[in-house]
Amino acid sequence: MSKIIEVANLLEDKLEKMLESFTFLKDENEYLNRRIAVLESNLTEKTLQLDEKEKSFKLLKIAKTIEGSKESTRETKLKINALIREIDLCIVQLSE
């Protein structure tokens, strides 16, 4: 009879340890999921900031090219022609 009680006590101890582990892992999983959400939000924000900075850089580069600073007139004309083609494409897409 004492052997059965020992086995029952051992089983009870193991169940308690498993329950503690389960609770810990559940809490850790919730924390990690919240952390993932925060990091994904930060990534989205940084991606938007990067896109904004790239657009600003492109505009600055175009402005410098049009200004003609340290670049040839030929390259400036090519940039202007590229911009005109891009505007024409936008007009075509808007008219469709």
Is 36 a residue whose pLDDT tops 90?
A: yes
CA distance 68 to 7: 88
64, with CB counted inside 10 A (0-12, 13-18, 19+), is middle
What is the mean predicted confidence (pLDDT) over 9-27? 95
**CA triple 87-88-89, angle to 5 deg:** 90
Q: Would you mind telling me the total number of residues written for the chain in this entry? A: 96
- Higher-confidence position of 74 and 12: 12
The ranges assigned to domains in the chain are: 2-95
Per-residue pLDDT band for 93 (boundaries 50, 70, 90) equals confident
pTM for the full predicted model: 0.54
Average pLDDT score over the chain: 87
CA distance 14 to 65: 74
